[in-house]
């Protein structure tokens, strides 16, 4: 019996080495430092759609001349290099698909983490109409972005925003945390699992959260509607708020000052389980 087991073990090892030889002893992708730049003419780029399969840091800002550019820099696998080499603007739209195909790996030849940076400099007086970012399982950082509409969707990962201006900002996160500051936009936010922290917000806020704490600090006086299921919720109104508090928790405590009741502005917060706090 022991002899048969030894023979079987030797055969399995031989099969393993044969497989590695066929694969030229490369067990995973070797990442490449890659840079590419796309030139932008005045009013050329209207819609930017980024699908990311790597951790991404994105910046969008207005330039000071009649031309601009989009620059990608990152550590990426060969198939993404090939995809970006063939990527060009289609009319006024640029779809950047930075998603790595799924493939089985025994062990990785390169233990570094793929990541990228996208720097968008728009021509003077230009503004994006549509800006969409989506990722299945990676972190997204967005800074200094201005667009008519911004949509961010992440399956599993963190969303970090700073200095954002938009006519509409929509965020959808299945699992992870959202941290945003200096936001000038109406916000529609859905968080299924994770904490939400919004600081210095100027615009109406509508938040739905299944699980996790919510911390909101308003810079200016706008309507607030927060619907939670499980987690503590804290709201600091703008100093100019003179309206009503509509607060309800089925299981938890409510700590809030009396409503000023001088205007019809309303801050609505409801949760099934968790404490509600209004910070003065």
For 153-175, write each residue's pLDDT tens digit.
999 999 999 999 999 999 999 99
Domain borders along the chain are 27-161, 186-280
CB atoms within 10 A of CB 201: 25
More confident residue, 247 or 7: 247
In whole angstroms, give the CA distance from residue 199 to residue 253.
Answer: 23
Q: How confident is the model at residue 20 (pLDDT cuts 50, 70, 90)?
A: very low
Please give the model's pTM, rounded to 2 decimal places: 0.85
Q: Which residue has the tokens 């619907």?
A: 227
Q: Are strands 67-76 and 32-41 parallel, antiparallel or unpaired?
A: antiparallel
- Residue 14: φ, ψ to 5°: -65, -45
Lowest mean pLDDT among 21-25, 39-43, 191-195: 21-25
CB 96 within 8 A of CB 115: no
CB 197 within 8 A of CB 236: no
Q: Tell me the pLDDT of the chain averaged across its residues.
A: 88
**In 48-86, which positions are buried (b, 16+ CB within 10 angstroms) versus exposed (e)?**
bebebbbbbbbbbeebeeeebebebbbbbbeebeebbee
Summarize the confidence of residues 9-31 as an average pLDDT: 54
Query: What value does the CA radius of gyration of the chain take, rounded to a whole number of Å?
Result: 24
- Residue 145 clears pLDDT 90, i.e. is over it: yes
pLDDT of residue 90: 82
Distance of CA 117 to the CA centre of its chain: 13
The CA-based dihedral angle spanning residues 88, 90, 94, 100, taken in that order and rounded to the nearest 10 degrees: -60
* pLDDT tens sequence across 67-126: 899 999 999 999 999 999 999 888 889 999 998 654 444 444 455 788 999 999 999 878
Residues forming beta bridges with residue 177, ordered by sequence position:
none
pLDDT of residue 280: 86
């Amino acid at each position: 019996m022991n002899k048969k087991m030894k023979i079987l073990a030797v055969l399995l090892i031989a099969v393993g080495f044969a497989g590695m030889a066929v694969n030229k002893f490369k067990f995973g992708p070797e990442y490449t430092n890659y840079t590419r730049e796309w030139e932008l003419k005045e009013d050329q780029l209207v819609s930017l759609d980024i699908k990311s399969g790597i951790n991404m840091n994105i910046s969008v800002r207005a330039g000071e001349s009649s031309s601009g550019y989009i620059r990608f820099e990152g550590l990426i696998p060969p198939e993404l290099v090939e995809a970006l080499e063939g990527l060009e603007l289609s009319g006024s739209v640029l779809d950047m698909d930075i998603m790595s195909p799924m493939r089985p790996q025994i062990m990785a030849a390169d233990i570094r983490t793929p990541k990228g940076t996208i720097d968008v400099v728009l021509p003077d007086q230009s503004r994006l109409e549509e800006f969409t970012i989506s990722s299945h399982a990676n972190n997204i950082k967005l800074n200094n972005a201005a667009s008519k509409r911004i949509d961010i969707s992440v399956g599993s990962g963190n969303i970090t925003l700073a200095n954002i201006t938009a006519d509409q900002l929509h965020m959808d996160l299945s699992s992870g945390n959202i941290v945003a500051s200096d936001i000038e936009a109406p916000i529609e936010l859905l968080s299924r699992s994770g904490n939400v922290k919004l600081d210095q917000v100027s615009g109406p806020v509508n938040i739905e959260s299944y699980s996790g704490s919510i911390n909101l600090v308003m810079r200016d006086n706008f309507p607030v509607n927060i619907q939670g299921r499980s987690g503590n919720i804290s709201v600091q109104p703008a100093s100019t708020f003179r309206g009503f508090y509509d607060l309800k928790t089925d299981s938890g405590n409510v700590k809030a000052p009396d409503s000023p009741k001088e205007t019809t502005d309303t801050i609505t917060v409801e949760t099934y389980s968790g404490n509600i706090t209004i910070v003065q």
